[in-house]
Amino acid sequence: MKLMTKQIEELFLKQGYTGDKKAEDIKIVCKYFNPMSSSTWYCYEYDPEDRIFMAYVDLFGPDSGCCESGSVSLDELESYRSKFDTTIERDLHFEPFETTLTELIAGARP
């Protein structure tokens, strides 16, 4: 599965730079997940030159208290292989721009 498509890149362009926006104004563009764990990346900004996302990352599930916003490398997501040879996947049912960063911080998990 391709993690990045031209259509997704266009959605990130539509969102634009988020560094000067409030969390309630930042919309989640796409969602990636590890099918062998609870790790999830909710991406809201993308730099195509460096292939780096800004994302809200939930590595251990919403009740773990171990969620954070930060940068994520598309190259690293694409190169990941579990011991069962599974890869990171893109949630094909995720609806872009329907969830805000504020909602994720409050515990929503679309």
pLDDT value at residue 101 = 96
Q: How far is it, in rounded angstroms, from Cα 110 to Cα 93?
A: 10
Would you give the DSSP letter of residue 41?
Answer: E
Three-class SS state of 35: coil
The residues, ordered by sequence, that sit 6+ positions from 30 with a Cβ below 8 Å of its Cβ are: 8, 11, 43, 90, 91, 94, 96
Segments in the chain below pLDDT 50? none
Of 33, 34, 32, the C-alpha closest to 44 is 32
Q: How far is it, in rounded angstroms, from Cα 6 to Cα 35?
A: 24
Our CA angle for 26, 87, 57, nearest 5°, is 30
pLDDT in tens, 13-34: 999 999 999 999 999 999 999 9
